[in-house]
Amino acid sequence: MSRLEEDTRLTGRNGRYKSTLHEDWQIWFPNGGYMGAMLLRAVGEMSAFDRPVSQTCYFLSVPKIGAVDIRVESLRKTRNAEALSFVMIQEEKTIIHGVAWTGRPVEGYAHDDVPMPDVSSKKTLKSTRDIVKGHAPQEFWNHFEQRPLSGDVHWQQTESSAAMQQDWLAFRSDEVDQDPYVNAGRFVVLLDSFGWPAAARAHSGDGRFIAPTLSLTVDFHREYAGHWMLSEATSPIAESGYMQVRSRIWAEGGQTLASAQATLMCRPRPGFSESN
């Protein structure tokens, strides 16, 4: 089993589940992608189909580490697809609300016009563990191996650059979960996690803000039993405290696995002062 499988486990049945948010999946707060992976797993428990198609999460409140309740309801089911709503609740407060589509493979058009960028091999790149000499700012980043194409981490930059973050990534577990919803949960975690580092690269030296996710929509394109993935996150625009993020991940062989769009909101960094 993987740590993601272990830390998104559910109890319950028939759309009523309980789980626990674990402390080593947090950055500023429990990671949105991690919570999205947990909710996706709950959707898989409830759905009649074994393939996630899309998921949209609206992050309404900041949770804390500990127990949560999850509710999943089927909204509409056809022969080939099903729409389900989900909600995560903690101490009577709604944390996340959203909708997912699930389905089964059907005959239809097939094309992939999103080629993987021509980037350096992961074998030629340093791990962030080597770059920062083994120090991760939060335990969350130790869940996977990260090899940035830039050769550095965003807070080491001395000059601003394009708002883009590219990395070779692999979860550290030797196991790839066979459950398609747990497996796809890896994509949700990665697609949510690198928009902020991408945006921060355009504002080197400005540490005034953090930027929690307000909404995240993920489209799942392919299943993947491999370990290594290429991630590309960009923040094409930020204005009036709100930031758009677009993210994609590819299999090591070049196939597009999943894509996402998110909206983030800048807010003052806790404890920040100009002397930091």
pLDDT tens for the chain, 276 residues long, are 689 999 999 999 999 999 999 999 998 889 999 999 999 999 999 999 999 999 999 999 999 999 999 999 999 999 999 999 999 999 999 999 999 999 999 999 999 999 999 999 999 999 998 998 766 778 899 899 999 999 988 877 888 889 999 999 999 876 788 899 999 999 999 999 999 999 999 998 888 888 999 999 999 999 999 999 999 999 999 999 999 999 999 999 999 999 999 999 998 888 765 544
Q: Pick the closest to residue 258 from 156, 170, 179, 187 (CA basis).
A: 187
Secondary element (H or E) of residue 191: helix 180-193
CA 122/CA 32 separation, integer angstroms: 27
> Contact at 8 Å (CB) between 130 and 156?
no
The CATH-assigned architecture of domain 3-105+119-268 is Beta Barrel (2.40)
Q: What ranges do the domains of the chain cover?
A: 3-105+119-268
Those residues with Cβ within 8 angstroms of residue 64's Cβ, 6 or more apart along the chain or in another chain: 21, 30, 90
Instruction: Tell me how many degrees the CA angle 45-49-53 measures, rounded to the nearest 5.
Output: 100
> Contact at 8 Å (CB) between 95 and 68?
yes
Those residues with Cβ within 8 angstroms of residue 179's Cβ, 6 or more apart along the chain or in another chain: 5, 41, 44
Q: Please tell me the pTM assigned to this model.
A: 0.94
